[in-house]
Amino acid sequence: MNRTAIYPGSFDPVTYGHIDIIKRATNIFDQVIVAVADNYLKKNLFSKDERLEMLKEATKDIKGIRVEAFQGLVIDFAKKNNVNVLIRGLRVISDFDYELQMALTNRRLNEKIETLFLMPSEGYSFLSSTLIKEASSLGADVSSFVPKSVEDKIKEKLKNLK
Ligand code: ADP
């Protein structure tokens, strides 16, 4: 049986924390669909296409994954792809509240969908896309948290915003 999971998120932008989770997921599943949420309510720094492009570049050497964008509910995207496992990353305890609410809401919407939580290595446990954007805007070196291509993109984006 071919086991597939979906790892949904904003990936605004992708960090080594996300990549860590993607690699762990590929050790468990035959195929992982990394799904970039195209949600107009959420204020992202990068457009959907920019987030997709950065993710594709950052994961090009990882086997068994597919990077795609989706609109609307993740459970509908899962159903369309015939997938019943969602992967989410759990960093610090503060993630738990939100992730539990979301997992239970998704389960309420579709009983058959299970959410599987994976923990990143400790080194990435405090890493978030928001932190990277803030630190970078203040001039910090973020090269140990995001791939070079992403670092360059953030710098370019922030320069254009000034
Ligand atoms: P969302 O807006 O859906 O939370 P994110 O791109 O911020 O999208 O995160 C997608 C998933 O990846 C979430 O489950 C989040 O907890 C997880 N994640 C984000 N950063 C890390 C990290 N450093 N380590 C492990 N998981 C992470």
* pLDDT class of 41 with cuts at 50, 70, 90: confident
Strand partners, 86: 6, 115
Index of the ligand 1 atom closest to the CA of residue 89:
26
Enumerate residues lining ligand 1, CB below 6 A: 9-11, 15, 17-18, 21, 88-89, 91, 95, 120, 124, 127-129
pLDDT at 100 exceeding the cut of 80:
yes
Which range is least confidently modeled, 31-35, 39-43, 105-109, 148-152?
Answer: 39-43
Contact 120/21 with Cβ under 8 angstroms? yes
Q: How far is the CA of 161 from the centre of ligand 1 (A)?
A: 25
Distances (CA, A) of 145 to 50, 79, 132: 18, 33, 8
Its sign, for the CA torsion 14, 57, 40, 25, is: negative
Decide: pTM greater than 0.85: yes
The dotted CATH code for 4-126 is 3.40.50.620
Its sign, for the CA torsion 30, 62, 133, 40, is: negative
The helix (run of H) or strand (run of E) holding residue 118 is strand 114-118
